[in-house]
Amino acid sequence: MRKAVAIYGGSFDPPHISHVLAAVYALKVAGFEQVLVVPVFEHAFQKQLTSFQHRLCMCELSFAGIMGVLVSSVERELETPSLTLRTIEHLSRAHPDWAMRLLIGSDVLSDTSKWHAFERISELAPPYVVARAGFDPPSVHAAFLPDVSSGRVREALATRGTADSDALLAACVPSAVLAYIAEHRLYGR
């Protein structure tokens, strides 16, 4: 029997509580045996990102201690820009014993028409969609993740020291990630 693995790609710039909860949900509710967190190396839509190494370290801090979650640097070794299909095909060849699904938030569904060969991705790793606030849920029974995004976290990081920003950061970003951000002076104002 093949191992049920959720492939969870994204910018993770920075990772936040909804990322962590999506992985835990996939393991504990959706029945995946493993979640492979794959930070994008070079965004296909030319999105400017914090360095890959910093995002990889923050992912490792965010998911540390959650049995069944592994953080992968696989996209660093693949051709750029990073394409989900390229990553899925590589993982499929490297792990023929995996039954893969692509773990995505419902916020991503409207962008899949822009992805390279999304139909092929869906054949190799059918999407498993988790609900994000403000976007259509995958089903009426979907559990919603907290209403937070990396963009909102970056905005709060830029205005640290205000009550609202500090409250959002304390509630939505793992403390080890906040410490890492401070130590490396990331997302400075």
Tens digits of residue pLDDT in 87-109: 999 999 999 999 999 999 888 88
Q: Is 100 part of a structural domain of the chain?
A: yes
Q: Which of 13, 23, 32, 15 is nearest to 126 (CA)?
A: 32
**Percentage above 90 pLDDT, the chain:** 75
Average pLDDT score, the chain: 92
Residue 142 has pLDDT above 90, yes or no: no
Give 30's pLDDT tier (boundaries 50, 70, 90): very high
Greatest Cα pair distance, the chain, in angstroms, is 52
Residue 47 has pLDDT above 90, yes or no: no
**Percentage above 70 pLDDT, the chain:** 98
Which whole number is the average pLDDT over 46-57? 93
Rg of the chain on CA atoms, in Å = 16
The secondary structure of 88-134 as a DSSP string is HHHHHHH-TTEEEEEEEETTTGGGGGGSTTHHHHHHHS-EEEEEETT
Q: State the DSSP H helix or E strand holding residue 26, giving kind and residue range, or none if neither.
A: helix 17-28
pLDDT at res. 189: 57
Q: Is 50 part of a structural domain of the chain?
A: yes
Which whole number is the average pLDDT over 48-68? 97
Q: Is 43 part of a structural domain of the chain?
A: yes
Q: Is 143 part of a structural domain of the chain?
A: yes
Residue 16's domain spans which residues? 3-147
CATH code of the domain in which 139 resides: 3.40.50.620
Q: How many domains does one find in the chain? A: 1
Q: Is 122 part of a structural domain of the chain?
A: yes
Which whole number is the average pLDDT over 18-29? 96
Tens digits of residue pLDDT in 160-180: 999 999 999 999 999 999 999
Q: Is 158 part of a structural domain of the chain?
A: no
Q: 2-38 in b/e burial notation, b at 16+ Cβ within 10 A?
A: eebbbbbbbbbbbbbbbbbbbbebbbeeeebebbbbb
